[in-house]
Amino acid sequence: MDADSAVSAAREYFLNLQSLICERLAAVDGAAQFSLEQIDNPQGGLSQPRVLAAGAHIEKAAVQFTHSIGDSLPPAATARNPHLAGNRFQATAISLIVHPCNPHAPTTHMNLRFFVVEAEQPVWYFGGGYDLTPFYPRSEDIVHWHRTAAAAAGEHYPALKKHCDEYFYLPHRQECRGVGGLFFDDWSEGGFDASFDFTRRIGDSFLPAYQPLLEKRIHEPYSDAQRDFQLYRRGRYAEFNLAIDRGTQYGMQSGRRIESVLASLPPLVRWEYNYQPEPGSAEHQLTDYYLQPRDWLAEAEGTAVDNSGD
User: Which residues of the chain form contacts with its own copies (CB under 8 A)?
Assistant: 51, 53, 60, 62, 171-173, 231, 235, 238-239, 242-243, 248-249, 252-253, 258-259, 261-263, 265-274
3-state secondary structure of 96: strand
What is the strand order of the sheet 107-117 is part of? 39-40, 46-53, 58-70, 89-100, 107-117, 123-133, 180-187
Alpha-carbon span 86 to 93, nearest angstrom: 22
Q: Which is nearer to its own copies, 186 or 271 (CB)?
A: 271
Name the minimum Å distance from CB 57 to its own copies. 18
3-state secondary structure of 95: strand
Backbone angles phi and psi of 102, in degrees to 5: -80, 125
Alpha-carbon span 223 to 104, nearest angstrom: 11
Alpha-carbon span 297 to 140, nearest angstrom: 10
Q: Which is nearer to its own copies, 151 or 268 (CB)?
A: 268
Alpha-carbon span 129 to 164, nearest angstrom: 8
Q: Which is nearer to its own copies, 97 or 218 (CB)?
A: 97
DSSP letters spanning 162-216: HHHHHHSEETTTTEESSSEEEEEEEE-TT-HHHHHHHHHHHHHHHHHHHHHHHHH
Of 167, 179, 160, residue with least CA distance to 296:
179
Alpha-carbon span 31 to 55, nearest angstrom: 6
Q: Which is nearer to its own copies, 163 or 257 (CB)?
A: 257
The set of catalytic residues is 109
Alpha-carbon span 89 to 75, nearest angstrom: 12
Alpha-carbon span 109 to 216, nearest angstrom: 18
Q: Which is nearer to its own copies, 143 or 262 (CB)?
A: 262
Q: Which is nearer to its own copies, 159 or 258 (CB)?
A: 258
Alpha-carbon span 15 to 48, nearest angstrom: 9
Backbone angles phi and psi of 248, in degrees to 5: -65, -45
3-state secondary structure of 80: coil
What amino acid is encoded at 101 in this protein?
Answer: C
